[in-house]
Structure 1
């Protein structure tokens, strides 16, 4: 319930119902990075509870009394058999479900390695030019710009249609600089596994990449280095999103 409640809170932040302030980010980031630990605590508590119940049942001193008549004895034995069967079923479920959840958590938390970012250097006019032909294959392309303070600012480009490109930072306002990766024809957030609607890349909202301004000039996509400098703070938190 706690996990689902936090998911709802994340959605409300993503939709702008709750303001995403710096204080909210300080609270959200550690919780997001440690959600797997909450699950392990839950699994451990469930298994411990199961062991205690089984041990309590085994230590019971109930026995058939010789003073009982045959009908009472049969009723007692039948109840004891039913109790054992229910206990075995519950214990089995309490072992199987946490085990499945644990396996799911391990698979879900496997680290996805991002493809290397192609380093880009601005020209004398502080502009970065990327030939359209180099990003026209409808695949995700990742680039890296070294800001004035040494921070590597990543941005992505994907061709959305014959005339439009999805261009944004390799980060979002919810999951920070965790980045995006491509699987088949899907663009996925590495942190929360949300699949992006490719036509909306380049626009604000939800887990979409933070939009990045660009213009077209003689077959090139041109990006100003000053626009990249604006998001250095996002990528300075890189270590918070890679655990």
Structure 2
């Protein structure tokens, strides 16, 4: 339940923060009629997220490839949103409403661009959340997982409302500066994550050098979430500390003074709520991240030796869904004997498959079983258990083996072919 809650909270708060920025922005520039477009985009994205996740789960279409393209498309719309906000900020001398209409080429174009901006960002978060939670459900009861998901969504929506209420009276130029930085982080995260998904699935060319750069960024994507929340919280906090009591005319009535005091107390309440929830979310997400990191350590390697020209292992020991890691020293013909690590794994269909503890893209970094299943330690990419033993993407390099008489037999020549991967 807690894991489902944290996953939904992280994905939902990112979407709520971005949508909250859009709502607050529309209020500031005097275009409240466009809020209907945002609501339509939200509803469409939520429906498409569920439908898309169901289709991806029931077909052979690669969900990672779909998500990669959605991320890149969303990044393009975020960049256009930043460009538009900068243009609007530079045009603040005149009537902002007129300038907005001029720069967007009319209400129709504005609505269409706004719709796809919100739709793609929420779709990306929605599909990713549904797919991740489908994996989490395998490790927890469905009721608890569903409850955690609902709580995460509810808290995310509350945060979005708090952010809109707390930022509505912030100076427009200051609002532009901070939210532009947040959107730059969103853009960078989308670009890197999109390229990573497409690279590991062979759509784009990739190499170990590229993954050494992209992998740690994707693996530690909590940094983006924490930074965006911290910026939003600090923006509200600084405004709260800077805000002076509203000056009232000398002839103001007692009712006017009470109304002004109530308005100021209400604004402080909204701002305090945004700051408090922002840093509470940061604490919860960081705690979950630290806990998750403790489960990424590779299991111990069991040493085996060549007997003649082969390695023989009993199949009786491979009777669960864990990764069984082995290592054997192989003469490389150059005076060295690097350890070649390989894995034995019982697939969902009951067959035992042998693979190298390395992949073509990321190298010999190893694999572990985490919350999302079998995962590459370099790029944190989850794998489909049914695809173990198949080449391509970030899958472990296939290793030939034969099974019979209660034994798994791996030839020394096949192990020697893996030596170059473990010498890197």
Q: 2:382 aligns with which of 172, 190, 194?
A: 194
Q: Post-superposition shift, 1:53?
A: 2.5
User: Post-superposition, which runs of at least 4 consecutive aligned residues in structure 1 deviate over 6 A?
Assistant: none
Equivalent-residue separation in structure 1 for 2:227 and 2:264 (angstroms)? 33
1:110 aligns with 2:298: no
Q: Which residue number corresponds to residue 343 of structure 2?
A: 156
Gaps of 5+ in 1: 238-243
Query: Per the alignment, do residues 6 and 63 of structure 1 end up closer, same or farther by CA in structure 2, a change over 3 Å counting?
Result: same
- Note the aligned Cα RMSD (angstroms): 3.5
**Larger Cα Rg: Structure 1 or Structure 2?**
1
Contact 1:156/1:170 (<8 A) preserved: yes
Equivalent-residue separation in structure 1 for 2:266 and 2:321 (angstroms)? 62
Equivalent-residue separation in structure 2 for 1:210 and 1:159 (angstroms)? 16
Query: Per the alignment, do residues 101 and 49 of structure 1 end up closer, same or farther by CA in structure 2, a change over 3 Å counting?
Result: farther
Corresponding pairs, count? 232
Contact 1:189/1:196 (<8 A) preserved: no
Measured against aligned partners, the alpha-carbon deviations of 1:115-151 in whole angstroms (never above 9, x if no partner) come to 32221222333x2222334435665322101233343
Q: Which residue number corresponds to residue 18 of structure 1?
A: 204
1:135 aligns with 2:318: yes
User: Greater strand share, 1 or 2?
Assistant: 1
Matches within 5 A, 1:26-175: 26-32=212-218, 35-38=221-224, 41-42=227-228, 44-57=230-243, 60-125=244-309, 127-135=310-318, 139-147=322-330, 148=332, 149-160=336-347, 164-173=351-360, 175=362
User: Greater helix share, 1 or 2?
Assistant: 2
Equivalent-residue separation in structure 2 for 1:67 and 1:137 (angstroms)? 81
Gaps of 5+ in 2: 1-185
Measured against aligned partners, the alpha-carbon deviations of 1:166-185 in whole angstroms (never above 9, x if no partner) come to 1101233455434334579x
Q: Post-superposition shift, 1:13?
A: 1.6
Contact 1:155/1:169 (<8 A) preserved: yes
Equivalent-residue separation in structure 1 for 2:208 and 2:362 (angstroms)? 13
Task: Name the SS of the counterpart of 2:284 in structure 1.
Answer: helix
Task: Name the SS of the counterpart of 2:397 in structure 1.
Answer: coil
Relative to the length of structure 2, the TM-score reads: 0.46
